[in-house]
Structure 1
Amino acid sequence: MSQEDRQRWNDKYQQAPATREPSGFLRSLESQLPRKGRALDVAGGAGHDACWLARRGLDVTLVDISDVALAQAETLARDAGVSLTRLRLDLETDALPPGPFDLVVCLNYLWRPLLAAVPKLLAPGGLFVFAQPTRRNLQRHPHPSARFLLEEGELPTLLPELQSLSFTEDWTDTGRHEARLLAQKLQQVPQPAKP
């Protein structure tokens, strides 16, 4: 992303309402998500999801390109009485923080090369939560544009190293047609010793 992209996101967060609930999709997975360990919120914006995860007991790192969003996340975390590690990163050029993470969350951000890096970020048994509109979303909404949309059925093919625990593609309660995934990195199976 360019400086122009960073400014566009800063402007967007500057104009966004101050309060927003954590993702309904993420909250719907509450019983399956860890309550301790390390979590990474990728393109987490103003920190609503990151703070929700931190309140559950996770040590959360939030990464986003927007300085404004990260400042809002700092305020939200302080008001919620939780601690977040916040990093300004250009997800298309900067390296992600080193894992392993017990949970990686990426909601409403699509950069296909990033998905290839997710298995390396996860601890064995770690979970990945992802949601992104598909091309069918254009039937009702002009945004995001086609370049930021998944083809139907594409998401599982982008994560062959993870085991899908749940995967749906449908119109959601948000009014968007989304691919939603909860996947897990398989535990390392010890190889038998060679004689």
Structure 2
Amino acid sequence: MIDDLATGSPASDTRSALDGYVGDPAVQAEWDKRYSEREQLWSGQPNGALVAEVAALTPGRVLDVGCGEGADAVWLARGGWDVTALEVSGLALERAAGHARDAGVAVRWVHAELTEAALPPASFDLVSAQYPALLRTPDAAAERALLAAVAPGGLLLLVHHAGMDTHPVHDSGFDPADYVWPAMVAALLDDDWEVELNEQRPRVAPDSGAGAHHVDDLVLRARRLR
């Protein structure tokens, strides 16, 4: 998840997921370091936009991109979804698996970058990416991986903090130009997709956790028609 990168503020089984990370080791190390700086980085509550957009849907197969400490994955599993949760930080996945065990729900954990995860194509009824830290590449690999994972008839739900994409380069090295934002994904949608929602709106913000100060969301909800 991208959140405060600009300021630098600091019956589930992870065994198979953590046996081998698939992706850039530097990315994993960066996020493991960030998670190690706090016993709990995020609020522990499911993201408000996810709850608002998904609560009325019929559960199916869902991919949680950048699952962090697992709050969204656990909420989805409790709601009857078949959850695959992807994360680059092994430390975050260990915490997420612990929360899932405590909740008595099963989640399929994937320790990988989205572009390297070799996920089954067109197989998820919902792809949820809540404030994801997806690195931008010239071939739009991350954007295309998000779209490729959605099954015909399924939904992509991409949520990000409004205004983050226009921040100046920070002393910490955070550069918005390095990351994927909703407008970039929306620009790739063709006639195989129907945009159901693409808006900025007030965020249902948690009381605690990194990024709680952000007040507005960008919400993109698009349905794959075929």
TM-score by length of 1: 0.80
> Counterpart in 2 of 1:191?
none
Identify the match of residue 150 of structure 2 among 107, 115, 122.
122
Q: Secondary structure at the match of 1:180?
A: strand
Counterpart-to-counterpart distance in 2, 1:5 and 1:154: 21
Q: In structure 1, which of residues 21, 42, 46 is the aligned counterpart of residue 45 of structure 2? A: 21
Unaligned runs of 5+ in 2: 1-22, 206-213
Aligned residue type for 2:30: R
1:165 paired to 2:187: no
Match of 1:69 in 2: 92
CA contact (8 A) 2:198 2:219 kept: yes
Pair 1:5 & 2:44 matched? no
User: For residue 33 of structure 1, what is the aligned residue in structure 2?
Assistant: 57
Question: Normalized against structure 2, the TM-score is what?
Answer: 0.70
Cα drift, residue 71 of structure 1? 0.5
- Contact 1:171/1:178 (<8 A) preserved: yes
Asked whether 1:132 is paired with 2:134, we answer no
Cα deviation per residue 1:20-72 (whole Å; 9 max; x = unaligned)? 2110111111344332x211111111111111110000110101111101111
Higher relative contact order (CA 8 A, sep 6+): 2
SS of corresponding position for 1:115: helix
Distance change (3 Å), C-alpha of 1:13 and 1:28: same
Question: Is the Cα–Cα contact under 8 Å of residues 14 and 68 in structure 1 kept in the other structure?
Answer: yes
Per-residue deviation, 1:171 = 5.7
Which amino acid letter does the alignment assign opposite residue 41 of structure 1? Answer: D
Residue 199 of structure 2 aligns to a residue whose secondary structure is strand
Q: What CA RMSD, in Å, does the superposition of the two structures yield over aligned residues?
A: 2.8
Q: Percent identity?
A: 29
Rounded Cα–Cα distance in structure 2 between residues aligned with 1:100 and 1:182: 17
The Cα shift of 1:114 comes to 2.2
| Alpha-carbon distance between aligned partners in 2 of 1:134 and 1:141, rounded to the nearest angstrom | 16
Structure 2 CA distance for aligned equivalents of residues 118 and 162 of structure 1: 13
Q: Kindly tell me: are residues 106 and 177 of structure 1, through their superposed partners in 2, closer, same or farther at Cα, counting changes over 3 Å?
A: same
Aligned twin of 2:8 = none
Cα 1:141/1:48, change in 2 over 3 Å? farther
Which blocks of at least 5 consecutive residues in structure 1 are unaligned? 189-195
- For the residue of structure 2 that corresponds to 1:49, the secondary structure is helix
Counterpart CA distance in 1 for 2:164 and 2:122 is 34
* Between structures 1 and 2, the one with greater strand share: 1
Question: Is the 2:63–2:83 Cα contact (8 Å) retained in structure 1?
Answer: yes
Decide which of 119, 125, 145 is 1:102's aligned counterpart.
Answer: 125
What whole-Å deviation, never above 9, does each CA across 1:121-168 have from its counterpart, x for those lacking one?
A: 2222111110123556656995963222638x5442133332111111
Matched, 1:179 2:207: no
Contact 1:135 1:150 in 2 (8 A): no
CA positional deviation for 1:79? 0.8
**8 Å CA contact 1:46, 1:72 repeated in 2:** yes
Amino acid at match of 1:156: A
